[in-house]
Amino acid sequence: MDYPHPILAREGWPFIAAALVASLLVWLFAGFAWSIPLWIVAVFVVQFFRDPPRRVPTDPLAVVSPADGRIVSLGRSQDPYAQREALRISVFMNVFNVHSNRAPVDGDVLEVRYFPGRFFNADLDKASLENERNALVMRCGERTVTVVQVAGLIARRVLCYVAPGQSLHRGERFGFIRFGSRVDLYLPLDAQPRVSIGDKVHASSTVLASFAQPREVAG
């Protein structure tokens, strides 16, 4: 299992350090009782930035979840980034989910586009097109796959670490969203969903959909 990232996401190190230092200082100068609320905050910050390793399914046709969370949208939709009709699967991430984002397929990044926007509750459907977001359009063989990081009501920072021309492996970490958000996945219409609305999913390990078997060319 290849996992080159720390168990606590590097994006959280400054927040974790600040929470721990504040808790210790209040404990030293005001007493343990006064520091309890800050220790609770520190525990929350540590759990928010956890980034555990995950096993990736070996099926080459499997499309894995790009995020932890709950399925809030599933159906045919317009992909505004690749200009096509697509199957959209949306994962809502609350503040208790792991917020590391992983590649759903093996492929090459064709385009990365950032859009400033609003901060509606990411559970709402309108968040997909009106909130701050970052879209990755990928080429997976002959297929196009679009992954969109969407900021939420509390999330104010969408982080993406890849650029056009880079290749990603399924399950590879490509970004992070802080404090509640959503990830939209646009797939070819012939992809078969493997989840339902309301299902809880885990990044890299839950199969959201399967690509159709490639047709054999008659000799």
Task: Please identify which of the residues 73, 128, 181, 204 carries the catalytic annotation.
Answer: 181
Is 77 an active-site residue? Answer: no
DSSP collapsed to 3 states, the chain: CCCCCCCECHHHHHHHHHHHHHHHHHHHHHCHHHHHHHHHHHHHHHHHCECCCCCCCCCCCEEECCCCEEEEEEEEEEECCCCEEEEEEEEEECCCCCCEEECCCCEEEEEEEEECCECCCCCCCCHHHHECEEEEEEEECCEEEEEEEEECCCCCCEEECCCCCCEECCCCEEEEECCCEEEEEEECCCCEECCCCCCEECCCCCEEEECCCCCCCCC
Residues assigned a catalytic role: 181
